[in-house]
Structure 1
Amino acid sequence: MSETSHKNPTWQQAEIDFLLRNGIVSRPQQLQEFNHVKSRWVYRTLREVLLTPSGHVLKRFTHFPGRRDHRRVWLREHAALTRLEGFSAPKSLGFITVRHADAKCTSVLYAREMIPDRPIGRVDDTVLEKIAELLAQFHH
């Protein structure tokens, strides 16, 4: 069975409740408004990134039967953003694991705030000093 034959599982009620509880959506119909920006396969794990109109980043890791990606990147990202709380970093809202009986797979849905901005272009000395100070704070 090829990876392309797997369909994205439907949203489970536990995932919808998680999104409602964290203020990412105010009603389930808003799931259709998510901007699906990236998806890729790592072994039998489908990794997806979605942006929401409410200013959140969702990462969904769907594990299908067979060899799978065992790296739990959502745990590392959540731990890192939790440690950076109080700095100019997005807030992690946590994650939820659900079982999809219809697709015979499990998913982890991870959510964090999005800090909108534009890509870095030319960096002048004052911005470089601020970046250096921020990096020093991280390492402290």
Structure 2
Amino acid sequence: MPIQSSDVKYTGIATAEHGRDGRVATDDGKLDLVVNPPKEMGGSGEGTNPEQLFAAGYSACFQQALYVVGAAEKVDVTGSTITAEVGIGKNDDGFGIIVKLVGKIPAVDAATAKSLLEKAHQVCPYSKATRGNIEVTLEVA
């Protein structure tokens, strides 16, 4: 269920210039980056790219969802990490992305880790936003 505009607590604002071969910056100046296509896509690879930025945001958001789930389940997720791998490639509509989320949760066994990742995937806002739109797989490190 979508949130109502009156329920929004924060809005991040970023502006791009020149698409994948230019610059992105936030309105508060905390992020100001050169973006370039990766060498694998014919670019210089000198700057960051949208896939890396999406991976950074998704991994941070998913990590927070894991903390929430861990607290609710009374499971220690201290020292855990989430790595997001965002792939881009051609599909029937032009280009699309896929995501693999790899969770490392040192204090638990693999079955418990998998269960926690699946529960975090249900509450993470990025997961909710992408559900049904892109392939997202979960993996225990």
Q: TM-score range by the shorter chain?
A: 0.3 to 0.5
Normalization by structure 2: what TM-score? 0.32
Q: Which has the higher contact order (CA 8 A, sep 6+)?
A: 1
Query: Per residue, is there more helix in 1 or in 2?
Result: 2
Normalization by structure 1: what TM-score? 0.32
Query: Per residue, is there more strand in 1 or in 2?
Result: 1
